[in-house]
Amino acid sequence: MGSLNGSHISGKVFVKGKASEEFICDMVTITITFHHKELSGAKASQETTKQCEQFLKRLAESGVDIAMLRLHNDSIDRRSYSDEEEVNASRTIQFDSQASATTVNFILKIIQDELLDAEFSTEYYLSNEEELRKQLRRRALEDSKENAELLAQAAGKAIVGIDTIDMNHHQMRAASANNISIRHEFHDICQIFSKKLSMPNQNITEEVDVTWLIG
Domains and CATH numbers, the chain: 6-24+128-181+194-214 (3.30.110.170), 27-125 (3.30.70.3400)
Q: What angle do CA 206, 211, 215 make, to 5 degrees?
A: 140
pLDDT value at residue 2: 47
pLDDT (mean) for 158-170: 88
Instruction: Name the nearest CA neighbour of 179 among 117, 96, 105.
Output: 96
Measure Cα distances from 125 to 19, 69, 197 in Å. Answer: 19, 18, 16
Residues 6+ apart with CB under 8 A from 113: 58
Report the C-alpha gap between 20 and 24 in whole angstroms: 14
| pLDDT at residue 192 is higher than 80 | no
CB 182 within 8 A of CB 101: no
Residue 29 phi/psi, 5-degree rounding, is -100, 125
pLDDT (mean) for 58-63: 92
Which helix (H) or strand (E) segment holds residue 7: the answer is strand 6-9
| pLDDT at residue 53 is higher than 90 | yes
What is the per-residue pLDDT across 61-73, written as a single tens digit (0 to 9) for each?
A: 988 999 999 999 9
What is the per-residue pLDDT across 101-155, written as a single tens digit (0 to 9) for each?
A: 988 988 999 999 999 999 999 999 999 999 999 999 999 999 999 999 999 998 8
What is the per-residue pLDDT across 66-109, written as a single tens digit (0 to 9) for each?
A: 999 999 999 998 776 555 678 999 999 999 999 999 889 889 99
Instruction: Name the nearest CA neighbour of 168 among 12, 43, 17.
Output: 17
